[in-house]
Structure formats: structure tokens, C-alpha cells
Amino acid sequence: MALVEQIGEEGGVRRYRLKNPVTLEPIGEFVAAGSDDVRSAVERARKAQKEWAKLSFDQRAEYLWRLVDVIVERQDEIIDCVIAETGKTRNEAVSMEVMAPCLQISHYAKRARKYLATQKRPASGMLRFSKKITLVYKPLGVVGLITPWNGPVVLTANPLAQALMAGNAVVHKPSEVTPLSALVLKDLTEAAGFPEDLYQVIQGDGETGAALVSAGVDKVSFTGSVATGRKVGEACGRRLIPVTLELGGKDAMIVCADADLDRAADGAVRGSCFNTGHYCCGTERVYVPEEIYGPFVEKVVDQMKTLKQSDTGDCDVGAVFWDKQMDILCDHLADATAKGAKVLVGGGRNASLPGYFFEPTVVTDVNHDMELMKSETFGPIVAIQKVKDEEEAIRLANDSEYGLSGNVWTTDLEKGVAIGERVETGSVSVNDISVTYGIAEAPFGGVKSSGVGQVNGETGIRGYCHTHPIIVDTSKKAQGGYPYTIEGANGMQKFVKRLFGNRFLRKLVV
């Protein structure tokens, strides 16, 4: 049974019905916006942005502080809506969709002024005597924000806060799997007194997302799968607009022989099962040297067996948010077992519950011929591969088309950092599950197929701006100019030879 079902199409208008993944009861309907609706939303946003950009950082921040007040006051509305749409646990709804957004919005309300302060400085080297540089961080205009279903509020609130504090307006296309949470957030921004049309939500499917990309926006902030990311990247390339692509991953966990095994086993379980495994930086592959393999697997198995699932909300591992994801989990597991993998815990859909629950699962004897170790699985599965040593673990961790994040476990912290440097991913954690996205000032983004560009912190918020250099000539007289003479060109050549022909002077003048 489809949780997101198209129930009609009339005159190009597509209507969808949503179902709760835990109860399978209908929870709402929505209509996908057409390209004309999207275009007019962008035009309205452009008008709102002009006024918004005139405000000071403190004035913009005041709106964000009010939004945090409203989120804190009305957090149950977010929690109830996210749980109804996704079936995630209450703990995860609070930590991921309320606490993290409060932290991120507050971070940019407080720090955007510093991150985006106009900078004035002399040019470097010999130009310092005649040129002064003023760097102004100018807003881009209207940002098209396209988001996935696994963190409907957090993955919206974070880019929204950055785009707004940088002086932009935002038109948001949430996932068709979780469109209602976006409406709750929109409602909260209205309660916080946001100017009309500054943040707009357009409901819809992939077609609506594509329409937003070509509706005249000045930047696209996209979070989602690699396949869609490629399409969005191509469309932005054709329009010559900037884009950040935050895409899928296949994060590896490297357990060193000297790791604290209790802590590492706990990390494997949390990293794989958090948010039902629907976490872009979730642990998808675990590499363990043979000398600690037995005890490590035993600890993981013991802990995985204790994880509860229920349809009452009081559980450790919630529902699978989307029926299509359930199919992927079952396919990857079937492929792995057909190729020799062993299932030690769980192993399929939880038949004791009516909703879309997948049992917390431990699989061993896996290898890189299996989809489970190659493609993004995005479910509560701990897949453990025995390796000879740490070197083999690093080699296998890097044997992936993805490069989002990953984690290294060792009691030798310097070694952890050294291994972290060798892992070919956008970020890495030592002795923790991948937490980079939650550390507001850490630039976050994937390498290889996991993305283009970085979000968050100073780097991320500057991505919502054009860095506009204004160069002022402070010399008393005009420099150079017409008429050209051969003597002038000869003089320049001598100057180049004298200055750049000498290594000492070369360093002095730049």
C-alpha cells in the first residue's frame, strides 16, 4: 500500500493522499503546485526580499529569535505532525526536529552578523600602497529550497535560517512524503510575524521541484538523493545559477583494534538505527579487524536484541517513513543473503505490527559484491565486515562511490584524526557517530557522488551571498594609462625581471 498516493489529475493538477506509516490511516491530502503557481511564488518572494534586504542583521535576527520562541511554545505541533507523517520515535522527533532547529536558528541569529560583516583591508604586497578592498556579502535574492523526507523540519529550518539572515527570501518545496510538517513550520513563521511572502511553501512532487529550479530563483539549496541531485545540478548548470547538492551517503565505521569496544558497539547500533536508519550520515558499513571481531559482534547483537518497536510511540526504532524505502531495505537484504551474508538479529519487515516497521537487523559475512555494502540502504541495519587490520578497513571504507561522512573508533585520538584524514569523505567523527551536521560552525557537504558544495557555519552562510569586492584606489594620481609607448612596455619588462626574477623580492611583493 502506497503511503503517498496520487488520487487524481484534472487539468494538469495532481492531487495526492498521505497515510500514516504506523497506523496506515489517511492523514491528509495535497495538490501539487503547477509551474505558474511556482513562478508567481518566486515573483512575490522577490518583492518581499527587496524590503527584507534593507533590514540590519539585528532586525533580521529579531524575527528569528521570535521564531525560536514560537517553536519552543508550540513544539507539540511539530512533534505530532512529524510523527504522523514519518512514524519516527518521539525522542527523535524532539531531538532532531525541535531541539536541533532551535540550535541552528539561534546560531545564525546570533552569529550571522559576524560571519557576514563587511570587511575592509588593504590589498596585499606592493598593491597595499594604492588599493583598498571592501568585501560586502550581498544577498543573492530568492533561494529555491528543496528538501527530503527524513528530517522534514531540521533540513528546512537550517538552510532557511542561513538564507534569511543573509538577506534572501525563500521558496520551499518540501518532499511529497512530508509536506505537512512544512506547513506547520510556515504557520510558526507567521506567528513569529515574518513579512508576507518572505518564506513560502509550495507543495508538490518532483515535477514541482523541477518547476522551482526553472522559475527564476537565484540559487537552489537541494537536499536529497544522488539521482535527483544530478538532475537538479544539470538544470542549475543550464540556468547558470549556484546550487548546493547535499546528497546520499554510504558512511563507513572503522573500528580500530584498540577501540573501547562497549563504546564502539553502542556507536554502531546508534549510528545505524538512529531515525530508523534514515539518516544521510547513518552508519551503513562497519569494518572490524579480526582480533576484536568476535567480541564486537557479540556486543552489537546483545544491544540490537534489546531495541523495542511498537505502534504506541514508546519505542527505540520507529517506522520506515516511506513504503518505497521498505522495498529497498528488503531488496538489499535479500541480495546480501543470496550472496552469503548471515542475519544474526532481525532480518525483515516486523510482521507483528500493521505499519511499515523493519526489524533492527544485524548482518555479518558481507562484502563489496553486495548492494548492502555498495548502495545507500537507509534503514536500521548494522552490516559488519571482518577485515585483516586497520589498513584494510581504510581501503574498504574508501572503496565507495559515495563520500558523505564516516566515523573512526580508537582510544588513540591522534591516530583517530590521522585515519580521519585518510578517509575520502566530506567529514569524519572520531569516537562518535557522524555528527558534523549538528555542529553548526562545521562546514558540511559530501565529496564524490555525495554532493557539491558545503553548507553550515561561515562557509555555508556565505554561500547564500555574493561576495562583492569593492576596490578603492587611494593613490593621488592616475596610474598608467594611454598613450602606450614601447619604452613603457620595455620598462615593465625590466620591472618584471627585477622583481619576479628574484625569489626574495618575489615573496616581498605579493
Is residue 436 a contact residue for ligand NAD (CB under 6 A)?
A: no
Give yes or no: 246 in active site: yes
Q: What angle do CA 299, 305, 308 make, to 5 degrees?
A: 135
Is residue 170 a contact residue for ligand NAD (CB under 6 A)?
A: no
Question: Taking contact as CB under 6 A, which single stretch among the options 11-19, 103-111, 247-255, 358-366 is the one that binds ligand NAD?
Answer: 247-255
From the list 150, 181, 272, 364, which residue makes contact with ligand NAD (rule: CB under 6 A)? 150
Please identify the residue of the shown chain whose CB is closest to the bound ligand NAD: 209
For ligand NAD, the binding residues in 84-103 under the rule CB under 6 A are: none
Cβ 462 to ligand NAD, closest distance in Å?
18
Cβ atoms of residues 272 and 380 within 8 Å = yes
Interatomic CA distance for residues 198 and 389, integer angstroms: 54
Residue type, 366: V
From the list 86, 158, 162, 175, which residue makes contact with ligand NAD (rule: CB under 6 A)? 175
Active-site residue, selected from the candidate residues 280, 281, 315, 465:
280
- Crossing angle of helices 179-191 and 75-86, rounded to 10°: 170
Cβ atoms of residues 49 and 141 within 8 Å = yes
Is residue 433 a contact residue for ligand NAD (CB under 6 A)?
A: no
Interatomic CA distance for residues 325 and 379, integer angstroms: 8
Active-site residue, selected from the candidate residues 92, 246, 359, 376:
246
Question: Taking contact as CB under 6 A, which single stretch among the options 53-61, 67-75, 158-166, 219-227 is the one that binds ligand NAD?
Answer: 219-227
SS3 316: coil
> Please, is 489 exposed, middle or buried when counting C-beta atoms within 10 Å of its C-beta (0-12, 13-18, 19+)?
exposed
Interatomic CA distance for residues 38 and 213, integer angstroms: 10
SS3 341: coil
From the list 205, 218, 251, 359, which residue makes contact with ligand NAD (rule: CB under 6 A)? 205
Cβ 417 to ligand NAD, closest distance in Å?
23
Cβ 455 to ligand NAD, closest distance in Å?
7
Cβ 60 to ligand NAD, closest distance in Å?
24
From the list 17, 231, 263, 466, which residue makes contact with ligand NAD (rule: CB under 6 A)? 231
Closer Cβ to ligand NAD, 264 or 383, answer by number: 383
| CA atoms lying within 13 Å on the CB side of residue 294 | 1
Distance between alpha carbon 149 and the CA centroid of its chain, in Å? 12
Handedness of CA 476, 480, 483, 487 (dihedral sign): positive
Comparing C-alpha atoms, which of 244, 216, 232 is closest to residue 38?
Answer: 216
Binding mask 445-464 for ligand NAD (x = CB under 6 A): -x----x-------------
For ligand NAD, the binding residues in 263-302 under the rule CB under 6 A are: 280
Eight-class DSSP state of 124: S
From the list 101, 139, 224, 233, which residue makes contact with ligand NAD (rule: CB under 6 A)? 224
Is residue 379 a contact residue for ligand NAD (CB under 6 A)?
A: no
Closer Cβ to ligand NAD, 220 or 288, answer by number: 220
The conformational region for residue 75 under phi > 0 = left, psi -120 to 50 = alpha, else beta, is alpha
Query: How is the beta sheet containing 13-19 ordered, strand by strand?
Result: 4-10, 13-19, 26-31
Is residue 406 a contact residue for ligand NAD (CB under 6 A)?
A: no
Number of residues this chain uses to bind ligand NAD (CB under 6 A) = 30
Query: DSSP assignment of 95-113, as one string?
Result: IIIIIHHHHHHHHHHHHHH
Cβ 254 to ligand NAD, closest distance in Å?
20
Question: Taking contact as CB under 6 A, which single stretch among the options 66-74, 142-150, 156-164, 301-309 is the one that binds ligand NAD?
Answer: 142-150
Closer Cβ to ligand NAD, 147 or 189, answer by number: 147
Cβ atoms of residues 437 and 444 within 8 Å = yes
Residue type, 107: H
Cβ 440 to ligand NAD, closest distance in Å?
14
| CA atoms lying within 13 Å on the CB side of residue 200 | 26
Give yes or no: 190 in active site: no
Contacting positions for ligand NAD (CB under 6 A): 146-151, 155, 173, 175-176, 205-206, 209-210, 213, 223-225, 228, 231-232, 246-249, 280, 376, 404, 446, 451
> Which residues participate in catalysis according to the annotation?
246, 280
